Structures are given as structure tokens and as C-alpha cells.
Amino acid sequence: MSAKSFDAIVIGAGQAGPPLAGRLEAAGMKVALIERKFIGGTCVNTGCMPTKAMVASAYAAHLARRAADYGVALSGPVGVDYKRIKARKDKVTNDARGNLEKWIGGMKGCTLYRGHARFVTADTVRVGDELLTAPKIFLNTGGRASVPNLPGVNDVPYLTNASMMDLDGLPSHLIVVGGSYISLEFAQMFRRFGSEVTVIEKAPRLTGREDEDTSAAILSILENEGIAVHVGAGDISFAKQGKEIAVTFAAGKPAAVGSHVLLALGRTPNTDDLGLDKAGVAVDQRGYIVVDDQLRTNVPGIWAMGDCNGKGAFTHTSYNDFEIVAANLLDNDPRKVSDRIEAYALYIDPPLGRCGMTEAAVKKSGRRALVGQRPMTRVGRAVEKGETQGFMKILADADTGEILGCSVLGPGGDEAIHCVLDLMYAKAPISTLARAMHIHPTVSELLPTIAQELKPLG
């Protein structure tokens, strides 16, 4: 069978694949875009868009229950219609996926193939019964939930972040195994929908990559809403108990027994069934495709973008991967992965926005540093909204004034963080932020105040 020839093949239609296909097609290339399941990848189908749609519903329910705090009287108790919540979530996802499919369908020089692509050689892939070949191949195959080999895990029905999206009814008691970003968003969301929720985390604290004060504040937020949290929970195992599921942990502690179990214990790259060995593409011990600073693999003519390369696990890092590849290939602009500053958010309520280094990382670096912090109880906008949990913290180099990092845990934290992130990209010193005039009343207006009150980091 002869292979169909293209100028470029893009495998995976997540956040990097379609826009790259669009740039290549606009540059006059003949492109094949291959997707084995849903256009849009994790973000559109099981990640950002559906979960944040549900977070919005959960926030509405939570705010309604607090109506009396704002002097608003409701005629009866607040109820939750989970089927309508799911229907709204599904519409958000389906609309986004449909728009992407329409956009791709309008690219005259791009052919969309549905199926699982596997390498035959370094420049040829098989999709179903068809062979496709191109001198340039771009991988954007994403990742999936990890399912560790814990005792009894295969003996019980468990959920992942993807299968959670298909639930038709509300769990009476949701047990969340894992204490990081995905797990905590689901925990708070379903608690606000009315489920009893228990979180079990084997590490000594939640969100272990954050500073201890941030982890403690997050724990307080969750516990204030009636979520049971167990940290330091070693020896986790699972067993059926009648129609329910028992999760046992930390010898001597009673098992948590619930109707549903969500496993949120990290991600695994979708690289194990691509035939990478046939192409000679190198992967690391965890299965991530090894790439250089411009996202090139060890095989000339093959690039890897998004979650499969281990350089980031977010929609924005995947899209930035596309921008880096396109800039180098099409714009004569030598952009690099190492140019970007780490930034992300945790979408509990209130959200956490983070950029740059943590306090722990700054201390480990040995740099002389300054720190400023302010609780949300001393932020007027937070007080006015009645949402005073959390705090803001800024770190700067004591010798150069370089802004090293920032955390904003509070109302609008996922948006306010960009005030600092953009200054970091501009390489502006902390004095620039200190002299800025921000709009009142906002959460962001206190960032210049914090910058004026920095003290040595102990």
C-alpha cells in the first residue's frame, strides 16, 4: 500500500494540534490532522471547560445558601438539579467541540483523520487501513488519569476526572483519593452540590508543591465547608462493602465508606501506544517524550507538544508549545520553553493564582529575598464581597529587585495574578509594582501596597 503524502502530520487535536494545523495550512502546507476520539482534547472534553462550568454551578449554589448573609431572603431551601447541571456542562463542551470541528473543516489544505495513529517509520504513520507520510510530524497526544496499583483498586468501581463527567446522579458520599488540584476542585464542587465528601491524601499536607501556609489555608477553606480531609494517609486500599466502597488507610484508622470513589492521583502521558520505538523517539522513565528547548525530539522532523512532553500539564502550556513551534518554523522567531514563567491556578473557591517561585524554592536557591503578605481580611474588595478567606504574597530578590513569585489565594486570584506575571515577563523590578496606581476597589489594588511593605525573608 502506498502512503498518502503530506507536508506535515499533526497527531492529536488538543490545544496545540489544531492551531498548529491552522498555521501550517495558512502557510500553504498540505496537512493531515489525526484525532482518535474528541476534537479539543482534555481541556474541552473532560478538563477545563466542563469542570469550570460545573464549578460555576457549584458557586451559584453556595452563594444562594449564603443569601441571608447579604440580606437576601429566599422563599425556601436551596436545591440542586444535577441533571440540569450536567446538561449545562455538556452544552458548554459540545458547543466548544462543534466550533472547533467547524473551524478545522473550513481549512481547505487540512484533512482530518479519525482514528489511532501509530508510527511505522520515522516519517510514516498508520491510521486504520491508511498510511500517511510527511517530513514533519507533530505529536499532541495528551495524557490520562493515572491508576496506581493499590490493593483492591481493581475490585471496586472507581471514577477518574474523565468518567466523573458522565455521572447522571449526585453521589451521596464521594471519597476523593488524592489531595492536589484536580481532586480538590471536585471535592469542593460536589460538596456544594450536596454530597458528603471525604478527601484522602497520602502526603503530609494537601497541594504539596505549594508553600505550607498556602496548603494550610486551602485545608481551612475545605474544612469550613464540611469536607473531611485526611492527610498522611498511607497504606491506602479498597474493598466492596455491600453496595458501597470502603477505603482503608493508615493502620488503625477507620475506613471511609462511600457511594463513589474518585481517583485523582496524577496523570500518565498517552505515549505507550504510538509506536514511538518504530520511529526511534526517546521517552523518559515516566513515558514523557524527551524534547529540547524548542520542543524537538531526538528524531529530526518530529516534535512533541502539550501534556505528552512533560514540560507542562496545563492548557496554557500546551497552547504556548504551539506558539513556540510555530514561531521557530514559520516566523524566524527563536522562542524557547525556558523563556516562560511557571504560572497556573487552582480552581477551588476562592481560587489560587500562582506564578514564579514559591517561598520554599526561593529559600532553597540561597538568594537574599524579600517577602510581603496580606490576608484577604485586610482587602476591602474581599470584605465587601463577604469572601475573606485566603491571602496574597509576593517574593522579590533583595539585591536586584527582581520579582521572584506571587501567590493570590482569594476572590479573583486567578485573574489578579496576571498583574505580577506580566511584570515578570517585562523584567520590571518590584519598585515598578510599588509605584503603580491600581483601580479601587479591587483585589489587585493591594498588590502595590504589599510591594511597598516587603521584609526580609527569614
Which stretches within 331-441 are classed as H helix?
A: 359-365, 380-385, 413-425, 430-434
Which pairing describes strands 143-145 and 267-269: parallel, antiparallel, or unpaired?
antiparallel
For the question of residue 62 being annotated catalytic, the response is no
d(CA 59, CA 414): 15
Burial 5-41 (b: 16+ CB within 10 A, else e): ebbbbbbbbbbbbbbbbbbbbeeebbbbbbbbebbbb
Closest CA to 381 of 319, 332, 449: 449
d(CA 111, CA 123): 17
Which grid cell is 203?
502526603
d(CA 15, CA 6): 22
d(CA 202, CA 102): 44
Closest CA to 273 of 36, 38, 46: 36
The residue annotated as part of the active site, out of 260, 418, 438, 440, is 440
Handedness of CA 211, 216, 221, 223 (dihedral sign): positive
d(CA 401, CA 395): 10
Q: Which residues are catalytic?
A: 440
